[in-house]
């Protein structure tokens, strides 16, 4: 259930990138879904993304898991790359600048 929710949410974030995604687990896991569910859709202007959204309940488990994994990776990377405020306050109340 949780994976399904994460995958559905991730579709809105990741599906636009599928067409340009570098070869890897996400593209490999979802390529058959894109072909079978949206093969007649002309790429561009978000049409593939919209098609995948419309068929999100029909995505294979492998595609859903790959989307969830990518979403978790991006979340972890985002947390790692977030910067602390430029001016911090030390325990003695003094300002610390980076």
Instruction: Render pLDDT for 26-55 as a digit per residue (tens, 0 to 9).
Output: 789 999 999 999 999 999 998 987 898 899
pTM given for the model: 0.56
Is residue 91 one of the residues assigned to a domain? no
At residue 11 the predicted structure's pLDDT band, cuts being 50, 70 and 90, is: low
Residue 89, SS3?
strand
Judged by phi (left if over 0) then psi (alpha if -120 to 50, else beta), residue 97 lies in beta
pLDDT, averaged across the chain: 74
Of the chain, the percentage scoring pLDDT greater than 70 comes to 59
Total number of domains constituting the chain: 1
In this prediction, residue 59 carries a pLDDT of: 94
Boundaries of domain holding 8: 2-83
Contact between 66 and 30 under an 8 Å Cβ cutoff? The reply is: yes
Is residue 97 one of the residues assigned to a domain? no
In this prediction, residue 82 carries a pLDDT of: 66
The first and second tokens of residue 37, run together, are: 């569910």
Contact between 26 and 14 under an 8 Å Cβ cutoff? The reply is: yes
Average pLDDT over residues 60-89: 77
């Amino acid at each position: 259930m949780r994976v399904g929710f994460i995958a559905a949410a991730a579709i809105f974030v990741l599906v636009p990138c599928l067409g340009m995604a570098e070869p890897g687990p996400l593209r490999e896991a979802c390529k058959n879904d894109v072909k079978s569910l949206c093969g007649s859709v002309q790429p561009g202007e978000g049409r593939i993304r919209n098609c995948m959204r419309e068929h999100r309940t029909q995505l294979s488990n492998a595609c859903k898991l790959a989307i969830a994994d990518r979403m978790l990776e991006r979340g972890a990377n985002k947390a790692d790359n977030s910067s602390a405020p430029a001016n911090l306050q030390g325990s003695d109340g003094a300002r610390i600048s980076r």
